Structure 1
Amino acid sequence: MHELRKDTSVFTIDIDSKKTKEVLPLWRWGGAIAAMILIGISYFWLSSSSGPEKLFTKYYQPYRGSVVASVVRGDSLLSTEQAAIQAYDNRNYIQAVPLLEKITQQEKSLNWRFYLGIAYLETGDLKKAESSLTVVARDSGSLFYRQAQWYLALVFLKQNNTDQAKEILLVLKKQPGTYAEKANLLLKEI
């Protein structure tokens, strides 16, 4: 039995000679766990929220209606219009932009300006897209009046300008047609 005590005393000496580790109080562990949960929830909320860029991506599709030809004034304009239509329809917006710019300089058709606005949007030139679409969206007699309003609201979303986007969408939702339905859906998500 004496040997057993001797071993115990040796064992005790070994423990006492080692440095003891500091144990974190329970409240610190709780705080760390709470912080981790909060970070996780924040990440989930931010990644699932419908920010302007996500809403733009969700709702944007390039306009696919047929390009409306305006009155032709000479062979060179006709070939420019045909080339612009072909480039736009083939989704070659980089090629379509200078052709559409040339057409809109030669004739003041809002139809061509609308397509130019979409081509600018597709090439990432948001300021020019905004400018072209604004001209069309201000003329209620334009063939593309509602479409221009819709795409202008999307341009504002892309620019993180949700206030102006909402303003346009509120007007658009009061008008008849499919763009009113789209505007209403988008407003619910903003």
Structure 2
Amino acid sequence: MMVKRTKKLFEDIENYLDESNDSKGKSRLKERLNKYSDLYLEVEKHQDLKEALSDKDAIAFKEKLVAIGKELKTEEGNVPEETTEPKVTSMFFSWRIAATILVIIGLGSYFIINSLSPNKSDLLNQYFSVYPLEGVIRGDSLGSSLTKKLNVYSNGDYQSAIINLEELITENPGKEVLKIYLGNSYLQTNQVNKAIAEFQSIDSISMYYENAQWYLALSFLKTNQEVEAKEILRRLLKLNGAYNNKASDLLKELK
């Protein structure tokens, strides 16, 4: 079944891609995704546009937008004439193509502005690494049970890791290293707000406080909260601990 492009559908997709949004539209789209495979393609196009808008490479940015625009235009020509919403579909189809063109036209000023600051995506790739598992479970009192549940984390299955870690934290509320793993899993599944909350929940007297602060700084950077990220990095410098050099280097990159 071909998905009809309407204003409501586009709004639902945007809500679905917004991790902080818990609207009815988001739930409605989740239900439809289970029924219509074509809807996944539409969601992917929206996701591509969002990713393109954060791409600092002007050429790659242009190519992504042009490709999406051409694909949409081709699909518009393939839509059957018999449709229950011809005016609405056509209007918003054209709107998306027009928006793409306008963004391309405005690339000059966009990159003049953004060239003044470092590429946040590159910085995250450079400084982020998943908190390692091996040192945590060694000699742990929970033994093989903990190891088994955390294997999915070490194997990169972060969705399953989230389920296991949430359960483990409920059973072992004082074991704060599990929060570090859960926060990392949230980051790996693009649930940044949940990651921030998890890292912020770790007390300053905890032996994992510095770890939490480092990942909290990266989380803020990922959500373009640069002021907050810098504040935490300066705090890490004062602690003069394991993340001192990384915090110093990252601060220099952000200035």
TM-score, normalising length: structure 2:
0.51
CA contact (8 A) 1:134 1:148 kept: yes
Question: Is there any run of 5+ residues in structure 2 with no aligned partner, and where?
Answer: 1-107
TM-superposed deviation, 1:177 = 2.9
The 2-side partners of 1:95 and 1:67 are apart by: 21
Query: Do residues 170 (structure 1) and 199 (structure 2) align?
Result: no
The 2-side partners of 1:87 and 1:116 are apart by: 12
User: Are the structure 2 counterparts of residues 178 and 133 from structure 1 closer, same or farther at C-alpha, using a change threshold of 3 Å?
Assistant: same
The 2-side partners of 1:82 and 1:106 are apart by: 15
TM-superposed deviation, 1:189 = 1.1
The 1-side partners of 2:242 and 2:230 are apart by: 17
TM-superposed deviation, 1:110 = 0.8
Equivalent in the alignment of 1:152: 216
The 2-side partners of 1:145 and 1:66 are apart by: 19
TM-superposed deviation, 1:114 = 1.2
Across the aligned residues of Structure 1 and Structure 2, the Cα RMSD in angstroms comes to 2.4
Aligned residue type for 1:52: K
TM-superposed deviation, 1:55 = 1.9
Equivalent in the alignment of 2:136: 68
CA contact (8 A) 2:221 2:229 kept: yes
Greater gyration radius: 1
The 2-side partners of 1:184 and 1:65 are apart by: 25
How does 1:36-185 map onto structure 2 within 5 Å?
39=108, 43=111, 46=114, 49-66=117-134, 68-69=136-137, 71-72=141-142, 79=145, 81-108=146-173, 109-136=175-202, 139-185=203-249
Instruction: Provide, for residues 133-175 of structure 1, a one-character-per-residue CA deviation record: whole Å limited to 9, x for no partner.
Output: 1112xx2332221111100000000000001101100000122
CA contact (8 A) 1:100 1:112 kept: yes
Instruction: Provide, for residues 87-131 of structure 1, a one-character-per-residue CA deviation record: whole Å limited to 9, x for no partner.
Output: 111122121110000001111121111111111111111111111
Question: Is there any run of 5+ residues in structure 1 with no aligned partner, and where?
Answer: 1-38
The 2-side partners of 1:111 and 1:43 are apart by: 41
With CA pairs under 8 Å and 6+ residues apart, which has the higher RCO, 1 or 2? 1
Q: Percent of pairs identical after alignment? A: 35
Aligned positions, number: 144
CA contact (8 A) 1:83 1:99 kept: no
Equivalent in the alignment of 2:41: none
The 1-side partners of 2:134 and 2:212 are apart by: 15
Equivalent in the alignment of 2:253: 189
The 2-side partners of 1:55 and 1:129 are apart by: 18
TM-score, normalising length: structure 1:
0.67
